[in-house]
Every structure is written in C-alpha cells, then in structure tokens.
Amino acid sequence: MKLSQGFRMAFSSILSNKLRTVLSMLGILIGVATVIALVAMGEGSSRQVEEQVSSLGTNMLSVTITGRGTDTTLTKEEALELANIEGIAGISPVVSSSASVKYDKTSTNVTVDGITTEYELVQDFSVQSGRYITAMDERNKTRVALIGVTTSDELFGSDDPLGKVVLVNGMRFTIVGLLEPKGSSLAGSNDEKLLIPLSVAQRIFNSDGVRTVYIQTTEMDVMDAVTSRLETELTGLFRGDSNSYRVFNQQDAMDTLNAVNETMNTMLVGVAAISLVVGGIGIMNIMLVSVTERTREIGIRKSLGAKRRDVMLQFLIEAMSISTLGGALGVALGYAASFVIETAMDSPTAVSSDMALYAFLFSACVGIVFGLFPAYKAAGLKPVDALRHD
C-alpha cells in the first residue's frame, strides 16, 4: 500500500467519527497548550528579572554593611577610599531610608536616598530636567532634592516640580531636578524616590556613616578580582570580622537567577508532559475501540491481499494524525493563552518558538508510541476470524 493511500484511508476514518476524534485529541491539545503557556510565563518572568538586573549594570558591585560586628557602618571617607582599589571605575556611598514627603495637602511615603555627585555615573541615573546634586550641595548641606517621575506625579500631577518646596519628615527641601524614568529593579521602583545630598541624609536620618556602597568596575572581566580586593580591604577595616559586610555581585545574581529559571522551566515542562502522556493513553483507548469496531473491515482487506504492514501502517497513521492535529491546535491555543495571560493578568510572557516546535514533535511521537499497540493488534487479526466477527 502506498503511503498516500494510507493517509487517505486514515483521514476518511477520522472524518467519519468527528466527535470521537475531537474527544480523543483533547488530551494532546490541552497538554501542548499547557506546555507552551507555562513555559511562556516562566520565560517572560525570567526575561523581566534579567532586564531588572541588567538595568542596574552587569559590571556593578554593591557593598552592604550588615552591622553584625563591632563597627556597624563605614564613614563616607572610608567608603570613598575604596575607589583606590585597582579595577574600580566609580564609587557611590548611599544612605537610604523611607520617609514621608508632603506637598500642600498631598503626602506619600517614598524611599529617600542620600547620595554624592558620583551616583549619577555609577548608577547611570540622570535628570531629564533641572540639575543634579553638586559637591557644593553636599559640602554645604543644602536642602535640595531630585524627584522620581512617579513621586512627582503623585505630589504635583502634571505640574513642573522644579522649584517646588516639599516637606521630608517635616523638613523643607527644594526640588532642583526631575529624574529620568528608570522603572523597577530588584530593590523596588526607582521612580518612587527622592535623592538628597548625603550629608543632609546623615543628619535627618541620624546616621554617622553609610551602610550601602555602589561600585562600578572598569569592565566585566575584573569583577572577581575586584571582589577579592574589596573583601580583603573590608576585612581589614572591620578587624577581621567578615560577618560585618556583604559584597553583592550583579553577574553572580544574574547567573543564579538563570539557573533557577532553567530549573523551574524544566519542572513546568515535566508537569505539562504528563498531560501529553494522558492524552496518548486516550488515543490508544480510542484506537483499540476502533480496531474492535472495524474487525470485519480488516478481515475483508486482508482477504483481498492487504499485508500485515499495510493494516498496521493505516492505524499508525490514524493515531499519528489525531495526535499531530491535536498538537497543531494546541500550539495555536498555547499562543492565544499566552497573549490572554499577558493582557488580562498583566503578567509578562515570552513564547519560545523552539518550545512550540518541541511540543508539537512530542505530540506526534506520543501518537506513534500509543498507536503501536492498537496497530499491532489490528495487524495480528487473522482474516478468517475477522470475517466471522459479528
């Protein structure tokens, strides 16, 4: 029997039992759609996290003083001296706290960072209008502030914030700059904050030193070397107590997140693959019923000269056709589900074309594997016994 003839006979049988065909392919359809949708959600979340980490700069290090040792902070001078370490391009000490910011009758709680002029370059966070905090502001303890776009909208609406006076924990600050939109990072929203001179922040937050230092390296390749030199320097400053600080490497965070996401995606694919196996069992069940119903047909074909492999090929093609059709519809449904999830639930998704292809091919393999036994059973019928079947 020619292959084309086998396909024609298979499709003729499938179309003659439309409801049964639809029900038997549902398991495959749902399984493929589930695989694509779940992996799309995982991939979307992975890319979002990568973008957030990348927005901080992959050549960035941060030092956090944990306060577990005898000394709980670094002085500003000690923090700035770390810039002398080979491989460091820029350094920015920061004092950070949450504070109430009020303008007229409107108030909101935001993150207030005390910064130096180096913050702009190290964090790549500039102003879109107005000016930045200067060394003179820092030296003279001038009460000026840079405001994030979200906080500006909350306090001033569409009005220009420049020159406006706000109260930060009851103290008057003049807005001198509107920051560029920065979006969110792992530490939270960068647009819901206020930046003020470090010396002023130390006064209003009663902090003698700094607990956070952002460090930019000259290039990616020196990250590990700079980290080692930093740890050596900090161990000396904290008299050998390595529990007093933590050095956070952005690239290490990126690698860890990627590894976690890969593991999660693998687990999601494994769970969704169970649906495909269940769908395959459904196809096998339907095909076994079909063999029983078509026993006389098989007997007539064999008596007219059909070979064992011809009968087996026909039933294999039927099983594979059901599974591949279900797989194709599942791919379409998976894409649609991913779009709905992203739009309705505001959850990022990213459909992988490779995963869609693998899911489709796996569905075809499921049809072949679970169609083998019914096909073998049909091919094993003896013509005489088949023709006697009522």
Distance CA(154)–CA(11), nearest Å, equals 63
CB of 188 closer than 8 Å to CB of 150: no
pLDDT truncated to tens, each residue of the chain (390 aa)?
555 665 666 667 666 677 777 777 787 888 888 888 878 887 777 777 666 655 555 578 888 887 654 457 788 888 888 888 888 888 999 998 999 999 988 999 999 999 999 999 888 889 999 999 999 999 999 999 999 999 999 999 989 999 999 999 889 999 999 999 887 665 567 788 999 999 999 999 888 788 889 988 888 778 888 888 888 888 888 877 777 788 887 666 667 777 777 777 777 777 767 777 777 787 777 777 777 666 666 666 666 666 777 777 777 777 788 888 888 888 898 888 888 888 887 777 887 788 788 888 888 888 778 777 777 776 666 655 555 555
Do residue 281 and residue 351 come from a single domain?
Answer: yes
Inside any domain, residue 93 = yes
Q: Is residue 266 part of a domain?
A: yes
pTM to 2 decimal places: 0.59
Task: Say yes or no: 138 and 282 in one domain.
Answer: no
Does residue 180 sit within a domain?
yes
- Domain contains 250: no
| Tokens 């706290």 -> residue | 97
Q: Do 97 and 212 meet the contact criterion of CB atoms below 8 Å apart?
A: no
Q: Which residues, at least 6 apart from 212, have a Cβ–Cβ distance to it below 8 Å?
A: 62, 63, 64, 65, 93, 94, 95, 96
Q: Which residues have C-beta within 8 Å of that of residue 2, sequence separation ≥ 6? A: none
Is the Cβ–Cβ distance between 333 and 13 less than 8 Å? no
Residues 46 and 176 in one domain: no
Are residues 212 and 94 part of one domain?
Answer: yes
Collapsing DSSP states into helix, strand and coil, what is residue 131? coil
Instruction: Tell me the residue range of the domain where 212 lies.
Output: 72-237
Structure tokens of 315? 């039933």
Mark out the alpha helices in 214-352 (DSSP H runs). 223-237, 250-293, 295-303, 308-344
Same domain, 44 and 77: no
Nearest Cα neighbor of 32 from 21, 43, 40 is 40
One domain, residues 134 and 221: yes
User: Do the domain assignments include residue 176?
Assistant: yes
58 falls within a domain: no
Q: 92 and 224: one domain?
A: yes
| Domain endpoint, select from 182, 205, 237 | 237
For residue 17, what is the enclosing H or E element? none
* Number of domains the chain is built from: 2
Domain end call among 237, 272, 299: 237
Which of 207, 237, 267 is at the close of a domain? 237
Give yes or no: residues 324 and 276 share one domain. Answer: yes
Whether residue 13 lies inside any domain: the answer is: yes
- Are residues 107 and 37 both part of a single domain? no
- Co-location of 142 and 259 in the same domain: no
**8 A C-beta contact, residue 288 and residue 374:** yes
| Same domain, yes or no: 232 and 260 | no
Note whether residue 337 is domain-resident: yes
Q: Are residues 276 and 347 in the same domain?
A: yes
